[in-house]
A and B are shown apart, each in its own frame.
Chain A
Amino acid sequence: MHLDEVAKRVRRDVIQMIMHSQSGHPGGALGAAELLSVLYFKTMRHRPEEPNWEGRDQFVLSNGHICSAMYSCLARSGYFNTQELLTFRKINSRLQGHPSRHDLPGVETASGPLGQGLSIANGMALGMRLAGIDRKVYCLVGDGEMQEGQIWEACMTSPQYKLNNLVLIVSWNDIQIDGTVTQVKNLDPLSTKLEAFGWHVLKIDGHDISDIETAFAEADRIKNKPTAIIAKTILGKGVSYMENKSEWHGKAPSIEESLRALKEIGTSEFQADLVAE
């Protein structure tokens, strides 16, 4: 399946999961569909049948609220049955509202409290290096999330230890809960800031599959520095009434709205395995 189709499938899963539980964060999840699809179905080496395989690349979802998209990728790559996606956010589910490492195979760390992921990813990258394992850690953060102080502590740690086995991806959609990032607490110029901190910085279109693939390939060639990819994304991408609207950061669409969303997303593959009534 072409990665564009994979990303559409992620979007359909996200909408169906959130519709089913009538709770969740569709905006950021829809916006990260291409990034996660490339990671899970192209770039990362991993073994769903052996989640703790030592030779795997690791993914840290720092902005844990968009976990519906990660759960879709985990299920679709075989970590668990796709039917389980419909238990998202429900009682007794392994698919917690924010990721729980202890409950679900394939989740490398808990997340949700913003700002923590990059530190954890740094620790994993240091651990890989110490164990002599030549693999990578990919860490996704939101742009609003970068207002957290801990992120900047961690942004100093990665270059200090020359973690070229670490890739930071910023989902730059300029939206957070209370408005645009520019209004709430401006981050720009982010690339200049990260460069000043010692990062190799790339700016890409976060919905362009080949842009994303090229950026990960370039990160593989960088020595002595960590790479940060600033990916321009659209909150709610693929669902016209959600796009660029901060109210869709953390609100579930009604059944009727969901059906409209599913229709708009479209996909060549019929998802008989995930039918919500």
Chain B
Amino acid sequence: MALESGRDGFGKALLELGETNSKVVALSADLTESIRAHWFAEKYPHRFFQMGVAEQDMIGTSAGLALSGFIPFATTFAVFAAQRAQEQIRMAVCYNRSNVKIAVSHGGLTVGEDGATHQGLEDIAVMRVLPEMTVLVPADSEEARLATLAAAEWDGPVYLRLGRTPTPVVTENADPFQIGKARILAEGNDVTIVACGIMVNAALQAREMLEKEGVAARVLDMHTIKPLDQEALLKAAVETKCMVTAEEHSVIGGLGGAVTEFLSAEQPIPILRVGTQDTFGESGTPDELLEKYHLTPDAIKKACQKVVQSK
């Protein structure tokens, strides 16, 4: 199977939007090709704005364009948007309710050799906490494409987090993509694995391993971290009575944070979180990093076995 990254799916969708939606414009902060905005930039140069290495300015400019009726996609790496420009996103985008889409690559450890400075592991947390913000973390290139198209239709700020590393497409046969609706990729009633981003693929592999041991795991592709699909979570909590979350992000404040916050109030069950453990990453190949920081199918499997015991 051909491998593709989330950013590839984004770039394709942006090009499609160039054709279908004349309000869509794109901005970049000197990382145009890295986030795959160059296809759009080449075809629609008058709707593409190069902002230079100035992410805070890019966010403000995007807000101004949105307030003038356009649908800007502001693009850079996760760390440089969500963290360098967090306060600009808070005021100019969220408090203004301006219709800006922030599309970032380099979310997670699989950034690889660039190391800790470039690996966005706290971005979901700092975006999710903002009122008015919608947070999307698609599982693969195809879902990234659909999420991009949906973000353009969505009325309001969106943070769209994409991976750098090519991965297999795992959502081909899933239900139609809809913001705020989890996609159930596998049924099972012993434990639920709630995953986002590349960890959806790892969750499916963990499920196969568990199946051999007689444990039936449900797999939810929680591509929308905010607004959370509360219905799917409640149903899974009632039916499987325990859960594991998996994300390429800190266990603090991201998907795991969102799920545990919600269920602890509505349907308390044992939940274990797979993610980075309050630590920075480092240089290495994507696979080495996933292994070292325990973001593997095996880590998810072990968490499932453990959480099933505490039901």
Interface positions of A (Cβ within 8 A of B): 100-102, 108-113, 116-128, 130-131, 149-150, 153-154, 156-157, 160-161
- A153, B80: Cα distance in complex, Å: 15
* Chain A positions within 8 Å of B68 at CB level: 123-124, 126-128, 130-131
Nearest B residue to A124 via CB reads B64
A interface, over-half SS: helix
Please state if A123 and B56 are interface contacts (CB–CB under 8 Å).
Answer: no
Which residues does B use to contact A, with CB under 8 Å? 25, 46-47, 49, 51-52, 54, 56-70, 72, 87-88, 91-92, 95-97
Q: Give chain B's interface secondary structure class.
A: helix
Given contacts A109-B96, A110-B96, A123-B60, A156 and B52 within 8 Å (CB-CB): yes
Give, as a whole number of angstroms, the nearest-CB distance from B146 to chain A: 27
Which residue of the partner chain A has the closest CB to B58?
A119
Complex interface: chain B residues within 8 A of A101 (CB): 67, 95-97
Q: Are B54 and A123 in contact (CB under 8 A)?
A: no
Q: Are B92 and A153 in contact (CB under 8 A)?
A: no
Q: Is the CB of B47 within 8 A of A119?
A: no
**From A157, which residue of chain B is reached at the shortest CB distance?**
B57
* A70, chain B: closest CB distance, angstroms: 16
B88 and A150 contacting across the interface, CB-CB below 8 Å: yes
Smallest beta-carbon distance A242→chain B, Å: 29
CB distance from B18 to the nearest CB of A (A): 14
- Least CB separation from B68: chain A residue: A127
Contacts of B61 in A (CB 8 A): 119-120, 122-123, 126, 154, 157
Contacts known (A128-B68, A130-B70, A157-B51); A109 close to B63, Cβ less than 8 A: yes
> In the bound complex, what is the Cα–Cα distance between A127 and B54 (angstroms)?
19
Contacts of B51 in A (CB 8 A): 157
Q: Which of A119, A126, A156, A160 contacts B92 (CB 8 A)?
A: A119
Chain A residues with CB under 8 A of B95: 100-102, 110
Contact yes or no, B60 A116, CB < 8 A: yes
Known: A130-B70, A153-B56. A121 touches B96 (CB 8 A): no
When distances are taken between beta carbons in the complex, the residues of chain A under 8 Å from B54 are 150, 153, 156-157
Chain A to chain B contacts (Cβ below 8 Å), 27 pairs: A101-B67, A101-B96, A102-B96, A108-B67, A109-B67, A109-B92, A116-B60, A116-B88, A117-B60, A119-B59, A119-B88, A120-B61, A120-B67, A121-B64, A123-B60, A123-B68, A124-B64, A124-B67, A126-B68, A128-B68, A131-B69, A149-B56, A150-B56, A150-B88, A157-B51, A157-B61, A161-B49
Q: Is the CB of A150 within 8 A of B96?
A: no
Contact of B65 among A108, A110, A126, A157 (CB under 8 A): A126
Complex alpha-carbon distance, A97 and B54, angstroms: 29
Roughly how many angstroms separate A123 CA and B62 CA in the complex, as a whole number? 6
9 smallest beta-carbon distances between A and B, as pairs: A123-B64, A119-B60, A127-B68, A153-B57, A153-B54, A123-B61, A124-B64, A120-B64, A123-B65
**Which listed residue, A100, A112, A125, A150, touches B64 by the CB 8 Å rule?**
A125
Chain B residues near A111: list those with CB within 8 A.
Answer: 91
